[in-house]
Amino acid sequence: MSEPTSLLRDLVRLPSVNPRGGPGDGGETAVAEYVRDWLQRHGVQAELHEVLPGRCNVVAVVPGCREKAVLLESHLDTVEVDGMTVPPYDGEVRGGRLYGRGACDAKGPLAAFMLAAAELARGKPPLHTVVLAGVCDEEHEYRGVVHLLQRLRGRAVVGAIVGEPTGLVPAVAHKGVVRYTVRTTGRAGHSSRPEEAVNAISLMAPVLTHLAATPPAVAPHPLLGPATRSVTRIRGGTGPNTIAATCEVDVDRRTLPGEEPDVVWQQDRAELAVLGAELDPPFLIDPALDTPADSAVVSALRRALTALGHPGEVAGMPFGTDASKIARVGVPTVVFGPGSIRDAHSADESVELAEVELAARAVVAAVRGMDVENMAVEEASCG
């Protein structure tokens, strides 16, 4: 069995389902410990950082000629395994693909970054120091990347590659999200005398009709298309013979680069207040990503892919990632990795092993290819 296959299979065999705000079961930390030990066996120093009780990040460093760093970041946690049609933790290999929860999102990208870090540590020191981070809690409240950025404060980071399943396409843009709860309030009563009550569910009906018929009033993004607004959950009533006093719906508003989350919420609140609805403050905010395609890290990755015989065109992705938080602190960031988002979170999640290997080679070439004008002189002085 090849090293990429055995590495990814080992990662998939370690359950690391995000506890969604509950007490962690140690799964993320078990993966972090495996990553640390594997990297150390391959000559890369790594350590654990506790983010929440029993939930850790792992951070490794490959020293370069410069202290300025390139960040490779991916996540340790997965979504739940309910309804899977393949064994979630076997790491079964069929037809050149490895199956299991997390194989695609995002242990495949994580494995590629680990292989890249080991390769960079074996050869001549890269021009930039490389920081590899595997973080917890990406699938819920992204507290792992927030903790990582706090630890990196004061270190100059010239670019970042965030590991997610992009089909080996450099993704320079993705949507953000604002999630909030909308509420209508009526007056409870017996269902045999509805005329003496005010049905909050009925009051919600025009709100739902409006949300379905009225897209956000913002121009589409060239790589991402339109902003969207979707109702994802509805709750109302207390029993089959009681007129509902309250009704609530959760709204998922996907934002575009340039939209500020708080402004979006304020606009939606004013818009829906006309229909008699109230909005709670957002329970989740995640900014959008929009990295210039000519930034150094993106250009280096595109050149690396082209040299490997793979297309280097950039694209946008509809889903959110840790990249937006990294970019928010001023680090040019691109999302990249093996696998398709269509396979992520799916009942038969899998990733093509050849893509994992190609992703690792592309990352090595991209790291070594940054700042090509000064590379020869500085690498020679670095030895």
- Say what the pLDDT of residue 377 is: 44
Record the tokens describing residue 82, joined without a space.
């309910």
The CA distance from 24 to 14, in Å, is 14
Q: Which domains are assigned to the chain?
A: 3-174+288-382 (3.40.630.10), 176-286 (3.30.70.360)
| Cβ contact 50:19 at 8 Å | no
- Predicted model pTM: 0.93
Record the tokens describing residue 344, joined without a space.
């992520």
Amino acid at 376: A
Q: Where are the beta strands (DSSP E) in the chain?
A: 45-52, 55-62, 66-75, 93-94, 97-99, 128-135, 157-163, 171-174, 176-185, 189-190, 228-236, 242-243, 246-255, 278-279, 284-286, 289-290, 315-317, 333-336, 350-352
| Cβ contact 39:118 at 8 Å | yes
Record the tokens describing residue 147, joined without a space.
């903790």
The CA distance from 368 to 262, in Å, is 40
Count Cβ neighbours within 10 Å for each residue of 240-256 and write b for 16 or more, e otherwise: eeebbbbbbbbbebbbb
Residues of the chain with pLDDT under 50: 373, 377
The CA distance from 357 to 100, in Å, is 18
The CA distance from 308 to 270, in Å, is 52
Q: For the beta carbon of residue 106, count every other beta carbon within 10 angstroms.
A: 32
Question: DSSP letter at 327?
Answer: H
Question: DSSP letter at 52?
Answer: E
* Residue located via tokens 């590379």: 375
SS3 73: strand
- Say what the pLDDT of residue 23 is: 79
- Say what the pLDDT of residue 381 is: 58
- Sorted by sequence, the CB contacts under 8 Å of residue 32 that are 6+ apart come out as 48, 56, 57, 58, 76, 134, 136
- Say what the pLDDT of residue 380 is: 55
> Is residue 270 within a helix (H) or strand (E), and if so which, with residue range?
helix 261-273
Residue 290's beta-bridge partner residues? Answer: 173
Inter-residue long-range contacts of 294-297, CB under 8 Å, 24+ positions, other chains counted: 295/159, 295/332, 295/334, 296/158, 296/159, 296/332, 296/370, 296/371, 297/70, 297/158, 297/159, 297/160, 297/161, 297/332, 297/333, 297/334, 297/366, 297/370
